[in-house]
Amino acid sequence: MAIGDWIEVCDTAEILPGAGVRVEIGDDPIALWNVDGSYYATQDSCTHEETSLAEGDLWGDVVECPLHGAQFDVTNGEVLSLPAVLPLKTYPVKVEDGKLYIEWNAES
What are the pLDDT digits (tens) for 8-43? Answer: 999 999 999 999 999 999 899 999 999 999 999 999
Count the Cβ atoms, other than its own, within 10 Å of residue 1: 6
> For the segment 55-103, what is each residue's pLDDT rounded down to a tens digit?
999 999 999 999 999 999 999 999 999 999 999 999 999 999 999 999 9
> How high is the pLDDT of residue 33?
98
Q: How confident is the model at residue 1 (pLDDT cuts 50, 70, 90)?
A: very low
Q: Do the bridges between strand 28-35 and strand 5-11 make them parallel or antiparallel, or are there none, so unpaired? A: unpaired
CATH code of domain 5-104: 2.102.10.10
Q: How confident is the model at residue 4 (pLDDT cuts 50, 70, 90)?
A: confident
